[in-house]
């Protein structure tokens, strides 16, 4: 192996080691604390609308990676994430059903009227299928339960779609983090710049997709506001 190749591999290993070290530090938290934090973040995503600040899937993937270190049990983590998702969305549904239009005056929602009305319209047309699909989109995951309650969708229909989506989403993203954590430990041992470069490309692609979605959201909201100036909510 040439000196240059050894240098590339060494530098790649250092970058992977930094990520691995971060996971190791998080793994030092008591298991009960990790489980509690993940449960509260996933539960509160729709029940408390914290999904606008921190998407629950981020916490789930990180927790899955921590589980790959053996600090927590991946099976129990899957169960906890699924239960938290279903319970949190059920609370969001009940809040929407009880408070209805008052939800639209919340500061975190009132500037997203275009998205909200578009989601409500699609929800009325597609029903439970849209509830299931919404589980895999950050914005819809945070507001869909409340909107389903506002639209007077039958709770049994909502629960079936919500449970199916919560099961697939919870297990899927937990295992994604779990296997990514295992891969990271291998990367730490065998990493090269090509491997690190792949991680950079993935991060860049996710960032681009996020920014593209944000631009579409702003355009949708601006179009709705321009078409419905009489329906604008007060900013104070």
Cα 155 to the center of its chain, rounded Å: 23
Distance CA 6, CA 41 (A): 42
**pLDDT digits 0-9 by tens, 119-133:** 888 888 888 999 999
Half-sphere exposure of 58 (CA within 13 A, CB side): 10
Q: Residue 233 corresponds to which tokens in the numbers above? A: 């909510």
- Does residue 64 register a pLDDT over 80? yes
Is 72 exposed, middle or buried, given 0-12, 13-18 or 19+ CB atoms closer than 10 A? Answer: buried
Per-residue confidence (pLDDT) for residue 204, from 0 to 100: 65
Average pLDDT (99-125) is: 77
CA distances from 146 to 48, 64, 119, 139, 161 (A): 10, 28, 11, 12, 14
* Cβ within 8 Å of residue 202, ≥6 positions away: none
Closest to 88 measured CA to CA, from 166, 164, 150: 166
Grade residue 106 by pLDDT with cuts at 50, 70 and 90.
confident
Q: Is the pTM of this model over 0.85?
A: no
Cα 5 to the center of its chain, rounded Å: 38
**pLDDT digits 0-9 by tens, 126-155:** 889 999 998 888 778 888 898 899 888 999
**pLDDT digits 0-9 by tens, 205-214:** 656 665 666 5
Looking up tokens 């919500």, which residue turns up? 162
Grade residue 163 by pLDDT with cuts at 50, 70 and 90.
very high
């Amino acid at each position: 192996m040439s000196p240059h190749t050894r240098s590339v591999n060494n530098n790649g290993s250092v970058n992977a080691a930094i990520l691995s070290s971060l996971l190791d530090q998080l793994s030092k938290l008591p298991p009960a604390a990790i489980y509690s934090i993940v449960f509260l973040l996933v539960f509160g995503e729709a029940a408390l609308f914290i999904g606008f600040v921190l998407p629950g899937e981020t916490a789930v993937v990180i927790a899955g990676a921590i589980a790959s270190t053996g600090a927590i049990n991946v099976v129990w983590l899957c169960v906890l994430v699924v239960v938290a998702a279903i319970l949190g969305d059920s609370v969001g549904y009940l809040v929407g059903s009880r408070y209805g239009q008052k939800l639209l005056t919340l500061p975190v929602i009132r500037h997203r009227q275009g998205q909200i009305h578009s989601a409500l319209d699609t929800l009325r047309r597609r029903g439970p299928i849209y509830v299931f699909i919404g589980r895999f989109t950050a914005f819809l995951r945070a507001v869909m339960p409340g909107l389903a309650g506002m639209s007077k969708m039958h709770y049994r229909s909502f629960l079936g779609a919500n449970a199916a989506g919560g099961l697939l989403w919870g297990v899927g993203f937990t295992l994604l983090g779990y296997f990514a954590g295992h891969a990271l430990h291998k990367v730490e041992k065998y990493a090269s710049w090509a491997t690190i470069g792949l991680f950079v490309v993935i991060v860049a692609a996710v960032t681009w997709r996020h920014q593209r979605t944000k631009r579409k959201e702003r355009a949708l909201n601006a179009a709705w506001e321009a078409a419905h100036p009489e329906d604008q909510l007060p900013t104070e």
